[in-house]
């Protein structure tokens, strides 16, 4: 199995992935473009898009030639709150919490 190391890539939280998808959908984008921009596998992208559609954060739009995804007002509100939260939280708080939470005791 091939493994790719992307510079500055780390395990992302669910909210980081959602924000990446929503930012990609700011401009009407196909699933393939969103998949590449958010750096997701095809299966991951489909699962996230289905969830975001059900939550009303994005919508499917047929632009005359293909199906594209577009962020909704609710999606823009989520992004706004997400960006505010990132500004308010200390840098690295989530990573430190995750490392401590999953640390195995020896």
pLDDT tens track for 48-92: 999 999 999 999 999 889 999 999 999 999 999 999 998 888 765
The answer to whether position 99 is within a domain reads no
The span from the CA of 106 to the CA of 100, in Å, is: 13
Is the Cβ–Cβ distance between 70 and 24 less than 8 Å? Answer: no
**Looking at the domain assignment, is residue 6 inside a domain?**
no
Q: Is residue 40, in this structure, part of any structural domain at all? A: yes
Is residue 97 situated within a structural domain? Answer: no
Give the single-character DSSP code of 29.
B
Residue with the larger pLDDT of the pair 84 and 95: 84
- Domain span holding position 25: 14-88
Is it the case that residue 4 has pLDDT exceeding 50? Answer: no
Instruction: Give the orientation angle of helix 73-88 with respect to helix 14-24, to 10 degrees.
Output: 130
70 Cβ neighbours under 8 A, 6+ residues apart: 25, 28, 58, 59, 60, 61
CB 32 within 8 A of CB 24: no
Residue 93 lies in a domain: no
Selected residue with higher pLDDT from 67 and 2: 67
Let me know if residue 66 belongs to a domain.
yes
Q: Is residue 78 included in any domain, yes or no? A: yes
Position 105 scores a pLDDT of 47
CATH number at residue 33: 1.10.10.10
Bigger pLDDT: 86 vs 98: 86
Domain count, the chain: 1
On whether residue 73 sits in a domain, the answer given is yes
Q: Is pLDDT of 97 > 80?
A: no
Banded pLDDT at 39 (limits 50, 70, 90):
very high
List, for residues 11-21, the tens digit of each pLDDT value.
788 999 999 99
Sign of CA dihedral 71, 33, 5, 52: positive
């Amino acid at each position: 199995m091939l493994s790719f190391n992307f510079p500055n890539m780390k395990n992302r939280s669910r909210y980081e992935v959602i924000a990446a998808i929503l930012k990609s959908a700011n401009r009407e984008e196909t699933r393939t473009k969103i998949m590449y921009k958010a750096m997701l596998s095809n299966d991951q992208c489909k699962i996230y898009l289905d969830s975001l559609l059900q939550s009303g954060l994005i919508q499917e739009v047929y632009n005359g030639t293909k199906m594209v995804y577009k962020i909704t007002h609710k999606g823009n509100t989520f992004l706004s709150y997400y960006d505010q939260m990132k500004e308010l939280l200390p840098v690295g708080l989530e990573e430190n919490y995750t490392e401590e939470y999953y640390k195995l005791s020896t």
